[in-house]
Amino acid sequence: MNKSIALLLFFILALATSCAQKKDYVVTIKTQYGDMVAILYDETPKHKENFVKLAKEHYFDSLLFHRVMAGFMIQGGDPNSKKAKLGEPLGMGGPDYTIPAEFNPKFFHDKGTLSAARLPDDRNPEKASSGSQFYIVQGSVIPEASINDLRYDQMKLTTGLRQIISKPENKALLDSLNNLYYAGDMGAYQKKIFSLVPRVEAETGTKVTRDLSPEKIKAYTTVGGSPHLDGEYTVFGKLVKGLEVIDQIAAQPVDAANRPFTDIRMTVTVAEMSKKKITKEYGYVYADAKE
C-alpha cells in the first residue's frame, strides 16, 4: 500500500475513534413513579455492552422491580417477572450466561448506583454477575460518628479478633475487652477494638482496613448508600436523574419476599448523546473532560 494512502487511512480512523469517544449512551428507566436516567461506565465494558444490548432488544420492557427493600435497594431484570402472578416468587431468572466481575475501587455503592445482581458466594465464588438482573441503591446516610463502620470490614474484624482472643495466651486481652463491655463504656470498648486492627491484620493475614477515599466518606455521610456491598458486586453505572423515584419505589408495601404488592414495571431505553450535552443536561462530568 502507498505510504501516503496508509497515512491518510490512519488519520481517518483516528478521527472516527475520536468522534466516537465524544458520545455516550444515556439509559432511561421509565416507571409509573417517574423516570430514572443513568450513565454506564466505560471502565466496566462487559456490563455496559450487555446492558445496552439488552435494552436495545427491549429485553427489560414490562419486567418488574421484583425485590424492594427500603433503606437498601430496588432490584429488577428477572425475565420471569413479565408474566408473573402476584405473590409468585421471583429472582432466579435471566439469560443463559453470566458476566465476569468487573470490580473497580473508584466506584462504590452510594445512592443512585447501578449494580449487577448475582448468586451468593457459595454458588458463585468468582462473584460473576447475572446476565440481566440489576439493582439501584437507595441505602441510608451514615452518621459521621460511625465513620469507622465504613473504614473497617466489621465481619472480617470480628472473625479475626475471635481467632486471637480464643488463644489461651491472649486471655488478658479477652478480660480487658470484657471489662470494658460489661462496664457499659461502649466508646472505650469500640476504641479498643479498632486499636487492635493492625494486630488482627498482622496475625491473621486478613485485610480488615478498607480503602476509604475522602470522596467515599463524603458520599456515604451525605447522600448515603450501602457500603457493605463495595467490592462484592460490580458497580457499572449511576443515576444522573431520578433519585426521588428510588425513594417512591422503595416506600411501596411489600410481601415477606420483598416483592411489592402492586406490580412496578419498567421500560428501559438507550439513546446516544454527545458528552457535552449530557454534562449540560444532567451535570455529569466525564473524567476525560477534567484532564
pLDDT digits (tens, 9 = 90+) for 235-280: 999 999 999 999 999 999 999 999 999 999 999 999 999 999 999 9
pLDDT digits (tens, 9 = 90+) for 183-198: 888 888 888 998 999 9
Res 9: pLDDT: 52
Q: Indicate whether this model's pTM tops 0.85.
A: no
Is it the case that residue 4 has pLDDT exceeding 60?
no
Query: How far apart are alpha carbons 209 and 206 in whole angstroms?
Result: 9
Q: Which residues does 149 contact at the CB level (< 8 Å), separation at least 6?
A: 142, 227
Average pLDDT, the chain: 90
Mean pLDDT of 70-75: 97
Out of 16-20, 93-97, 189-193, 222-226, least confident range:
16-20
150 pLDDT more than 80: no
pLDDT of amino acid 116: 98
Count of CA atoms in the C-beta half-sphere (13 A) of 48: 15
The secondary structure of residue 21, as a DSSP letter, is T
Q: C-alpha cell of 200?
A: 488482627
Alpha carbons 141 and 219: distance in angstroms, whole number: 9
Q: Which three cell numbers stand for residue 24?
A: 455516550
pLDDT given at position 3: 53
Q: What is the DSSP letter of 120?
A: -
Whole-Å CA distances, 217 to 66, 111, 132, 151, 211: 31, 13, 30, 9, 11
Question: Is residue 24 classed as helix, strand or coil in its secondary structure?
Answer: strand
Q: Identify the band that residue 290 occupies on the pLDDT scale cut at 50, 70 and 90.
A: low
Fold for 24-143+213-285, please state it. Answer: Cyclophilin (2.40.100)
Strands of 157-281 (E only): list them. 235-241, 267-274
| CB proximity list for 204: less than 8 A, separation 6 or greater | 160, 163, 164
> Where is 287: in which H helix or E strand?
helix 287-290
CA distance 157 to 194: 9
Spatial separation of the C-alpha atoms in residues 40 and 6, rounded to whole Å: 35
Mean pLDDT, residues 156-183: 92
pLDDT at 51: 98
Residue 18 has pLDDT above 50, yes or no: no
**Sign of the torsion angle spanned by Cα atoms 246, 50, 118, 223:** negative
| Boundaries of every domain in the chain | 24-143+213-285, 153-204
DSSP symbol at 64: B
Residues 265 and 32: beta-carbon distance below 8 Å: yes
pLDDT over threshold 60, residue 35? yes
Q: What confidence tier does 5 reach under pLDDT thresholds 50, 70, 90?
A: low
Distance CA 182, CA 172 (A): 15
User: What is the structure's pLDDT at 291?
Assistant: 47
8 Å CB contact between 209 and 151: yes
Candidate from 9-13, 89-93, 241-245 with smallest mean pLDDT? 9-13
Q: Which of 9-13, 92-96, 232-236 has the lowest mean pLDDT?
A: 9-13
Share of the chain above pLDDT 90, in %: 74
**Alpha-carbon distance 48 to 31, whole Å?**
21
* pLDDT exceeds 50 at position 19: no
pLDDT score recorded for residue 289: 66
* Structure confidence at residue 218 (pLDDT): 92
| Pairwise CA distance, residues 151 & 1, whole Å | 59
Please, are residues 245 and 35 in contact by the beta-carbon 8 Å criterion? yes
User: Residue 210 — very low, low, confident or very high, per pLDDT cuts 50/70/90?
Assistant: confident
**Does residue 7 surpass a pLDDT of 50?**
no
Q: What phi-psi label fits residue 229: left (phi over 0), alpha (psi between -120 and 50 degrees) or beta?
A: alpha
Question: 284 and 24 in contact (C-beta within 8 Å)?
Answer: no
